[in-house]
């Protein structure tokens, strides 16, 4: 039996950074599809519980679990608790991330390391933690949220660009390691999405670089994640990067 053969209401998804922005949209869309959802958060407990409430009020099942995914012990607890609660993990969405933007010459070591720790090491830790149970059940879909800046770079975001580029490399390497056991690993690379992380960006400064002429929405990114996580076609897609960017990056 493959992931596609398992009814959605029997599948479990873990979404890191699931309380706000893109992570919130992903948690909600997967919950509405019928999956049981673990909403991970670092500090926004009220926001995470709100996501859980919305999912449960719509007839789904969800829990909120606190944990800084840049820390190995927190990740081990997150995955262990998820497995104890639901018995399995079918989908992992590595979404948690931060920005600490400044030009390289002004960037402090802690600003570099903090972004690398959460945005890249966190993906490594969470992916490693779910690999064993997914390989054992011979099914699983891992979806990493990267960014177009990991492909093209962006002034003032050397740390973020490096981390997101690393996520793409990690995605491709792990995809090759786990494919033989029915586990897929893909990345979604959003462009400029209207969330609290981009609210400080002047839209007029970037719209000229977006062929579709507008910012994206968190729901549009979540839609791509939903496809990779639940659509039957997703079972035969691995090691790929899907840009949701309005045409900013065209390979």
3-state secondary structure 96-162: CCCCCCCCHHHCCHHHHHHHHHHHHHHHHHHHHHHHHHHHHHCCEEEEEECCCHHHHCCCCCHHHHH
41 catalytic residue (yes or no): no
Contact 89, 137 (CB under 8 A): no
Q: Is the dihedral of CA 227, 233, 238, 244 positive or negative?
A: negative
Tell me the C-alpha distance between 127 and 142, whole Å.
Answer: 7
22 φ, ψ (degrees, to nearest 5):
-60, -40
> What count of Cα atoms within 13 Å lies in the side-chain half-sphere of residue 170?
25
Total residue count of the chain as it appears in this document: 251
Which residue among the candidates 124, 160, 192, 242 is catalytic per the annotation?
160
Quick one: which H or E segment has residue 91?
A: strand 91-94
Instruction: Show which residues are catalytic.
Output: 160
């Amino acid at each position: 039996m493959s992931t596609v053969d398992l009814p959605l209401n029997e599948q479990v998804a873990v979404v890191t950074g699931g309380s706000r922005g893109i992570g919130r949209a992903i948690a909600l869309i997967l919950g509405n599809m019928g999956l049981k959802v673990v909403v991970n958060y670092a500090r926004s407990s009220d926001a995470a519980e709100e996501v859980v409430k919305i999912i449960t009020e719509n007839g789904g099942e969800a829990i909120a679990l606190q944990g800084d995914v840049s820390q190995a012990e927190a990740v081990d607890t997150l995955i262990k608790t998820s497995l104890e609660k639901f018995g399995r993990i079918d989908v992992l969405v590595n979404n948690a991330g931060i920005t600490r933007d400044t030009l390289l010459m002004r960037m402090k070591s802690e600003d570099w390391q903090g972004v690398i720790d959460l945005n890249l090491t966190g993906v490594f830790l969470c992916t490693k933690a779910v690999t064993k149970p997914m390989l054992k059940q011979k099914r699983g879909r891992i979806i990493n949220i990267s960014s177009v800046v990991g492909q093209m770079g962006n002034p003032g975001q050397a740390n973020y660009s490096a981390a997101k580029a690393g996520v793409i490399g990690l995605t491709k390497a792990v995809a090759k390691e786990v494919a033989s056991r029915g586990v897929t690993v893909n990345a979604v690379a959003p462009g400029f999405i209207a969330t609290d992380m981009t609210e400080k960006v002047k839209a007029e400064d970037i719209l000229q670089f977006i062929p579709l002429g507008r910012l994206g929405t968190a729901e549009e990114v979540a839609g791509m994640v939903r496809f990779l996580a639940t659509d039957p076609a997703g079972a035969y897609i691995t090691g790929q990067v899907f840009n949701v960017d309005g045409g900013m990056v065209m390979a």
